[in-house]
């Protein structure tokens, strides 16, 4: 063994062990005679595969190549609208079965001349809206946006329609395909409490905002648990094929953006502080926290 007092000689070296040891990194037993990395300054050994780099090889021995970091598994980005489409198909098939069993001879005719109830067709309409928005969001990948579609919220039957990881932060997007014009209605003021309501046509859809808030909180908690609590998380209600005006129309209610696909896309590609490497890391974290529905 070469000895000396230089800094290089005191660094880790690959060599055959004279005595058995234990890897300080993974705890594996290292019998005498195997090649391992000996850190002279710390007087500890480790497997050749554990350290990412070696300072120097022992005389007469070639240094093993650096161990590359483990590759992340590919992310399943999900299929937009898939769970809503499955629910529609389940309800439609159940209705057909009920009618055919109740009317063995006329079931086919009844199905042909009757319409599915709105509670069933709403799932198909919603699925189509999510699919259309998902297609739009996926075109932004070349501009640094990473997306996840139809993500299941663990321990619940609920799901998140879309998550977009962008240079400016994370966006939690709820897609809606409602008829009518989305508007912000403000009531109250000087003599009574001021309230804001989300209207779509004549329908009060304010409860949708509360749903987005819950999803945003869950995503923020998942990021914080993974050490990314500094990432901004924004909620969005995106109405597809709504009666939007030619100019203006988008607004904010209680911290949630209400908008349409084209305007949302422009927002997602805005410049921000996150580089592609961190965007990729956040994308993996959220894909793990919220699996496909």
pLDDT in tens, 128-180: 999 999 999 999 999 999 999 999 999 999 999 999 999 999 999 999 999 99
- The pair of structure tokens assigned to 183 is 């508007």
Share above pLDDT 70 across residues of the chain, in percent, rounded to a whole number: 87
In the prediction, which pLDDT does 4 show? 42
Facing residues of 12 across strands?
Answer: 39
pTM as predicted: 0.73
Contact of 182 with 198, CB cutoff 8 Å: yes
Question: pLDDT class for 241, splitting at 50, 70, 90?
Answer: very high
* Interval 210-224 mean pLDDT: 97
Checking if the pLDDT of 286 tops 80, the result is yes
Beta carbons within 8 Å of 168's beta carbon, 6+ residues apart = 232, 270, 271, 272, 273, 274
* Interval 230-255 mean pLDDT: 94
Q: In what order do the strands lie in the sheet containing 182-187?
A: 182-187, 195-200, 203-204
In whole numbers, what is the pLDDT of the chain averaged over residues? 86
Question: pLDDT class for 69, splitting at 50, 70, 90?
Answer: very low
Distance (Å) of CA 164 to CA 77, 103, 173: 11, 48, 8
Pairing between β-strand 35-39 and β-strand 44-46 as defined by DSSP bridges: antiparallel
* Interval 36-65 mean pLDDT: 63
Pairing between β-strand 146-152 and β-strand 56-57 as defined by DSSP bridges: unpaired
What sign does the dihedral 118-120-121-122 (CA atoms) show? positive
Q: What's the angle, vertex CA 164, arms to CA 158 and CA 168, rounded to 5?
A: 135
In the prediction, which pLDDT does 24 show? 77
């Amino acid at each position: 063994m070469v000895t000396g007092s230089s800094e290089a000689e005191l660094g880790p070296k690959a060599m055959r062990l004279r005595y058995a040891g234990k890897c300080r990194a993974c705890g594996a037993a290292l019998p005498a005679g195997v090649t391992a990395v000996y850190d002279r300054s710390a007087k500890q050994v480790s497997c050749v595969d554990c350290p990412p780099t070696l300072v120097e090889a022992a005389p007469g021995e070639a240094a093993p190549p650096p161990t590359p970091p483990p590759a992340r598994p590919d992310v399943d980005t999900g299929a937009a609208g898939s769970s809503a489409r499955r629910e529609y198909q389940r309800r439609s098939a159940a209705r057909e079965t009920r009618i055919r069993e109740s009317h063995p001879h006329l079931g086919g005719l009844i199905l042909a001349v009757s319409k599915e109830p709105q509670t069933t067709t709403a799932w198909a309409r919603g699925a189509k809206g999510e699919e259309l928005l998902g297609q739009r969001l996926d075109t932004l990948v070349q501009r640094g946006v990473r997306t996840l579609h139809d993500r299941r919220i663990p321990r619940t039957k609920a799901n998140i329609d879309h998550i977009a990881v962008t240079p400016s932060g994370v966006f939690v997007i709820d897609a809606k395909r409602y008829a009518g014009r989305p508007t912000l209605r403000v009531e109250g003021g000087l003599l009574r409490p001021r309230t804001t309501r989300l209207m779509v046509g004549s329908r009060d859809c304010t409860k949708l905002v509360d749903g987005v808030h819950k999803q945003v909180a869950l995503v923020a908690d998942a990021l914080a648990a993974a050490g990314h609590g500094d990432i901004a998380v924004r909620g969005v209600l995106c109405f597809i094929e709504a009666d939007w005006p030619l100019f203006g129309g988008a607004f904010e209610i209680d911290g949630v953006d209400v908008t349409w696909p084209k305007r949302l896309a422009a927002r997602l590609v805005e410049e921000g502080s996150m580089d592609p490497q961190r965007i990729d890391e956040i994308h993996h974290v959220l894909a793990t926290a919220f699996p496909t529905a």
